[in-house]
Structure 1
Amino acid sequence: MMDAVIFDFSGTLFRLDEDDSWFDGVTHSDGTAVDGHHAAELMRRMTAPVGEVVEFDDVTRHAWRNRDLDPALHRQAYLHVLRESGLDNQDHAESVYGRVIDPFCWTPYPDTAEVLKVLASASIPVAVLSNIAFDIRPAFERLGVTDLISEFVLSYEVGFVKPQLEIFRYAVDKLGVEASRTLMVGDSEEADGAARAIGCSFALVDPIPTPERPTALLEALELSGITR
């Protein structure tokens, strides 16, 4: 059994499940309304953990590559993504971006609270490790599970981003555990799976809409020998 578990945030514990109301009155550059298909594509681009989702120039590429280290660069990068995706109305882009950085707009997966309670009952410490440029703690407070998290390791606070190994070392050091006794759970083989390079075990989950993934976190624990 593992001595500690580290969870990714986006696509792992929570997901930005878009609400139709977010796009009320939001239009493309040609004046047509944003439909459900385009809304889903926008959210995919706004939450992609790795890669370039639109065309960038040198300035915006710098912002994109460093977006999770600086809130100002994060805003610059994502407003560029929205413009390149057809939302060139500044007010509309700002409105959608505001949803992305609002922790209360993020939906927990059905088993998020339960998996944290299982680990707490087994006295297994937990860290949440995320490439992110805004404070996600209120999302956990709203779910009533903040006291079940030993450490929040957020890239803009610690100065490292996945897949840099320093951010994983920082997390295991803060938890006071050996990497070889730590499970990393995330939705990106490239970003989260890099934890294996320092000796962690890794479990991959699918970042599908929350209603479609009711028990993946619990199953990841069970495969690592942690049962309810």
Structure 2
Amino acid sequence: MEVVQSLRRLKAVLFDFSGTLFRLEEKDSWFEGIKLPGQAGRQIDGHVQAELMRRMTAPTGHMVPMGPNEHYAWTNRDLEPDLHREAYLHVLRESGVTDHHAESLYQRLISPSSWTPYLDTADVLRKLSKAGIRTAVVSNIAFDVRPAFEGIEATDHVDEFVLSYEVGAVKPDPKIFATALQRLEVEPAEAIMVGDSEEADGGAQALGCEFVLVDPLPVADRPDGLRRALLHHGVDVS
């Protein structure tokens, strides 16, 4: 593979996890037996399923009423697993999901096997590694995502996993990006950050990294989003 770079100094690529490399894609079986208030006892439809999934994966903001304790848990959810669980169970309950089903959906959220890789994830990571460009997964998250990469045989192609609950910093805090750059032993100007949230992932720009936004579309609708994002910055991994 020939890597064509307009940014000759590029030495590393930082990737977000959710909505960038992997996506939590719902299955109808996850919602069996769930009936929300106002649904007249009917099984929830695809639109409601999609909204619940959005509330469980949106990188910023909050979608339900919260008191002081719930707001604290939500704000700090990606720093502590216990707060993460408390925050998302509250969101699901406030969305009308009963305790039993809320716990079941939450377990789906934190299971790496539930996450679907984008179609070009494994190949892009492999080709970057082969080209000598170092990579890091930089994620606001409170559970270990490494098994998801093991499932697509990509663990060896990721140099560093910089997870908020392990390093004590949450995007867009520059500290989490600085940690990734330090571990990769590169300068900010030598790296780009790829993610689906300008608010969170775009925080890397404060350090001097380039940033490129990808759309967190369903996996089937974004077959080559990572390749196109990198090509936009002069890196051809086709």
TM-score scaled by structure 2? 0.93
- Correspondence 1:1-228 to 2 at 5 A: 1=7, 2-29=10-37, 31-87=41-97, 89-228=98-237
1:82 maps to amino acid: L
CA distance in 1, matches of 2:87, 2:74: 5
Structure 1 residue matching 2:138: 3-state secondary structure = strand
RMSD of Structure 2 on Structure 1 (CA): 0.9
> Cα deviations across residues 163-182 of structure 1 (Å, max 9, x unaligned)?
10100001100000011110
1:63 maps to amino acid: A
CA distance in 1, matches of 2:146, 2:202: 23
CA contact (8 A) 1:27 1:92 kept: no
1:65 maps to amino acid: T
Structure 2 gaps, min length 5: 1-6
> Cα deviations across residues 86-137 of structure 1 (Å, max 9, x unaligned)?
11x2111101111001110000001101110120111111000000000000
Tell me how far 1:29 sits from its aligned partner: 3.9
Tell me how far 1:82 sits from its aligned partner: 0.2
Structure 1 gaps, min length 5: none
CA contact (8 A) 1:184 1:192 kept: yes
CA distance in 1, matches of 2:93, 2:16: 28
CA distance in 1, matches of 2:138, 2:236: 22
Tell me how far 1:224 sits from its aligned partner: 1.7
2:229 maps to amino acid: A
CA contact (8 A) 1:180 1:199 kept: yes
Structure 1 residue matching 2:78: 3-state secondary structure = helix
Tell me how far 1:28 sits from its aligned partner: 1.4
Number of positions where the alignment pairs a residue of Structure 1 with one of Structure 2: 227
TM-score scaled by structure 1? 0.97
CA distance in 2, matches of 1:139, 1:53: 27
